[in-house]
Amino acid sequence: MKIYIEDIAKYEGQTITLQAWLYNKRSSGKLHFLQLRDGTGEIQAVVFKGNVSDEVFELSDKITQESSVEVTGTVKKHDRSRIGYEIDATDVKVIGESVDYPITPKEHGTHFLMEHRHLWLRSLRQKAILRIRHRIIKSVRDFFDNKGFTLVDAPIFTPNACEGTTNLFKVDYFDQNAYLTQSGQLYMEAAAMAVGKAYCFGPTFRAEKSKTRRHLTEFWMVEPEVAFFDIYDDMDLAEEFVEYIVQEVVKNNRADLEVLERDISKLENIKRPFPRISYDEAIEILHKKGNDTQWGADFGGDEETLISEEFDKPVMIHHYPMAIKAFYMKQEGNKAACVDMIAPEGYGEIIGGGQREEDIDKLKAKIKEQGLPEEVFGWYLDVRKYGSCKHAGFGLGIERTVAWICGLHHVRETIPFPRLMDRLTP
Ligand code: 4AD
Ligand code: MG
């Protein structure tokens, strides 16, 4: 009977067949120990000379790393193994041979591994990251679905710059200019007026010309938008959302977090309420810590790290100076009713959002002031023209969130096939 490794416990004492890959092998005299992985788990098969034919014993000696194999044997309890079982092999077949697999158990440099990303994904560490990423995405969907949000897909081709014009990817769109979307937000504002609570979830693009450990050119963002919400409702939602995601991972992916040697107690601590500080208070913290960022400047990675050191939970910084924020933000005095959530332990900003300007005249003035092409914002202004209301939302970057939860220094390992300024392959 063919089974998956994850189901092994149900078959103790029975004869089963696994289809898997050999990720490591050890031999001693009359025994070969085959380390197998099938994507659902890892297990050791013991090939004892007395239990198999001579051909199978010889074959087991020669199987190369990452060959795909079919192993038949009896499931036996084995307390010292991670999974608690091992296989006493009675037959071994090679399905697909693997010759000179480039990623060996020795250490490899990052460049080499990135060049072989399509194979690197098979490592147990990368598999753990893929599984946690999957859990995060599932939790994102579950959270909003359970709260009565409607998933509304935003377009990828767009004529609008949502987050400034400096990092747009321009594409030829027949005889017009189009850009790859930086954010689905403007479309979600329209959608919120239709369904009340909307969210979109998809890839977004930014021609980031800086090579930092937090920036990808293609990343995934989830963006809720809610009608009749203000900035404080927005922060409440963001906080509940992030707590939910982290606790779902803690609950369901403990083994994966252990593979990554993540300090799980730090994640268990991520419970509401999260600290909230104003931009002015953040500036004070920076000054106290010897950073001389002037009032009015935006924060970079270094500042975010310094601020996050003060807290053991994500911190929400609200009310930045309007002058450094996007045209659509609701203005309050010289501040914007906006919020950034900074992850703890120096993983940087994971959420950006806030309340939107609902007044059509103020919005028109901002579009002009920031030199944005008014003609492509006609539809967006219509949202204010017909039954405008206060509304707010935010965007959470999936890769930054994966980096934080998995404890990864660089975002390049958080997405299966990262796109960076200097990387388009594999
Ligand atoms: O702060 P940002 O630019 O906010 C927006 O795009 C809003 N329109 C969202 C909204 O209100 N609906 O981006 C949101 C998040 C950041 O906090 C960060 O987590 C992530 O997106 N992000 C990136 N992640 C990886 N690489 C990049 N280049 C990123 N740029 C932003
Ligand atoms: Mg931001």
CA of 171 to the centre of ligand 2 (A): 24
Q: Which residues pair with 196 in a beta bridge?
A: none
Of 112, 148, 146, 117, residue with least CA distance to 130: 117
What is the model's pTM?
0.97
What's the rounded mean pLDDT across residues 272-301?
97
Q: Give me the residues paired with residue 47 across strands.
A: 32
User: Residue 345, exposed/middle/buried by CB under 10 A (0-12, 13-18, 19+)?
Assistant: middle
The pLDDT assigned to 210 comes to 80
Q: Given ligand 1 and candidates 186, 349, 380, which is best to mutate, with the most ligand atoms within 8 Å of its CB?
A: 349
| Phi, psi of 383, deg, nearest 5 | -60, -30
Query: What ligand 1 atom has the least distance to the C-alpha of 328?
Result: 8
pLDDT of residue 165: 84
- CB within 8 A of 63, min separation 6: which ones? 22, 25, 34, 69, 92, 94
Nearest atom in ligand 1 to 349's CA: 17
How many angstroms separate the alpha carbon of residue 176 from the centre of ligand 1?
Answer: 26
Nearest atom of ligand 1 to the alpha carbon of 394? 11
Mean of pLDDT values over 401-408: 98
Give 314-365 pLDDT, tens digit per residue.
Answer: 999 999 999 999 999 999 999 999 999 999 999 999 999 999 999 999 999 9
State yes or no: pLDDT of 199 exceeds 90.
Answer: yes
Specify the pLDDT at position 330: 98
Ligand 1 atom at minimum distance from 185 CA:
12
Angle at 340 between CA 334 and CA 341, to 5 degrees: 150
Range 110-119 average pLDDT: 97
Could you please report the per-residue DSSP string of 232-269? HHHHHHHHHHHHHHHHHHHHH-HHHHHHTT--HHHHHT
Task: Measure the CA–CA gap between 128 and 133, rounded to whole angstroms.
Answer: 9
Share of the chain above pLDDT 90, in %: 95
Which residue owns the Cα nearest ligand 1 atom 30? 215
Is residue 100's pLDDT more than 90?
Answer: yes
The Cβ-side half-sphere exposure at 142, using a 13 Å CA radius, reads 13
Q: Quick check: CB of 353 below 6 Å from ligand 1?
A: yes
HEC secondary structure over 153-199: CCCCEECCCCCCCCCCCEEEECCEEEEECCCCHHHHHHHHHHHCEEE
Q: Is 393 in the pocket of ligand 1 (CB under 6 A)?
A: yes
Cα 393 to averaged position of ligand 1 atoms, centre (Å): 12
CB 234 less than 6 A from any atom of ligand 1: no
The band of 193, judged by pLDDT with boundaries at 50, 70 and 90, is very high
- Residue 334 CB partners (closer than 8 Å, separation 6+): 321, 322, 323
| Residue of the CA atom closest to atom 4 of ligand 1 | 352
Q: In this predicted structure, what is the pLDDT of residue 169?
A: 97
- Ligand 1 contact, 327 CB (< 6 A): no
Tell me: the pLDDT tens digits for 162-186? Answer: 888 889 999 999 999 899 999 999 9
**Is the pLDDT confidence value at 209 over 90?**
no
Determine the residue of 183, 186, 237, 299 to mutate for testing ligand 1's pocket, defined as the one with the most ligand atoms within 8 A of the Cβ atom. Answer: 183
- Does the beta carbon of 25 sit less than 6 angstroms from any atom of ligand 1? no
